[in-house]
Amino acid sequence: MGNNEDRLTHFGHKGQAVMVDIGSKDKTFREAVARVEVLMKPETLGLVKSGGVKKGDVLGVARVAGIMAAKETSRLIPMTHNIAINSIKIDFKYKDPDTLLIQASVSTLGRTGVEMEALTAVSVAALTVYDMAKSADKDIVVNNIRLAKKEGGKTGSYFREGEDSWV
Q: Is 97 within a domain?
A: yes
What pLDDT shows up at residue 166? 77
**φ, ψ of residue 124 in degrees (nearest 5):** -70, -35
Q: Is 17 within a domain?
A: no
Q: Which residues form the domain of 119?
A: 41-154
Give dist(CA 125, CA 130) in Å, integer. Answer: 9
Give dist(CA 112, CA 20) in Å, integer. Answer: 10
Give dist(CA 62, CA 1) in Å, integer. Answer: 42
What pLDDT shows up at residue 155? 86
Q: Is 4 within a domain?
A: no
Q: Is 111 within a domain?
A: yes
Q: Is 88 within a domain?
A: yes
Would you write out the chain's pLDDT as a tens digit for each of its 167 residues? 344 445 556 666 677 788 888 888 889 999 999 999 999 999 999 999 999 999 999 999 999 999 999 999 999 999 999 999 999 999 999 998 999 999 999 999 999 999 999 999 999 999 999 999 999 999 999 999 999 999 998 888 999 999 988 75
DSSP letter at 10 equals: T
What pLDDT shows up at residue 167? 52
What pLDDT shows up at residue 128? 98
- A 10 A CB-CB count for 141 gives 14
How far does Cα 6 stand from its chain's mean position? 24
Phi/psi region, residue 153 (left: phi>0; alpha: psi -120 to 50; beta: rest), is: left
What pLDDT shows up at residue 59? 97
- A 10 A CB-CB count for 122 gives 30
Contacts of 75 (CB under 8 A, 6+ apart): none
Give dist(CA 110, CA 121) in Å, integer. Answer: 19
* Burial group, residue 150, by CB count within 10 angstroms (0-12, 13-18, 19+): buried
What pLDDT shows up at residue 24? 85
Which residues are designated catalytic?
A: 131
Give dist(CA 102, CA 11) in Å, integer. Answer: 32
67 close to 33: Cβ distance less than 8 angstroms: no
- Tally the domains of the chain: 1
Q: Is 29 within a domain?
A: no
CATH number, position 79: 3.30.70.640
